[in-house]
Amino acid sequence: MHDGIADAQSPAVLVATLRHEGKSARRNVAVTLSIDGAEAATRTVDLEPGQSREVAFPFTFEPAAGPGRHAHAAVEVSMASDRLPAD
């Protein structure tokens, strides 16, 4: 996350770095942001062999239950057809 912390008043920018190690280019790869297991946004990118690329997802979190309360969210970024689930 660019800002290091998110609040409910402004969008957070979540950034994932993708790297393609294959021998040929991958076109129109779907990259999905999930928050607490629910799909929140999807971007489509092209990747060249050996390329690292950042993908940014702006997202506004829901307010915590009550003033002065904090909440945590599980954030996941996944790529379509990625055979490396540990990434």
pLDDT attached to residue 85: 59
The model scores a pTM over 0.75: yes
- Cβ–Cβ < 8 Å for 1, 26: no
pLDDT attached to residue 70: 74
Q: Which residues pair with 44 in a beta bridge?
A: 30
pLDDT attached to residue 66: 67
pLDDT attached to residue 4: 66
Return the closest-CA partner of residue 14 out of 75, 68, 71.
Answer: 75
pLDDT interval class at 21 (50, 70, 90): confident
Residue-wise pLDDT for 24-75, tens only, equals 999 999 999 999 999 999 999 999 999 999 999 998 887 766 667 777 888 8
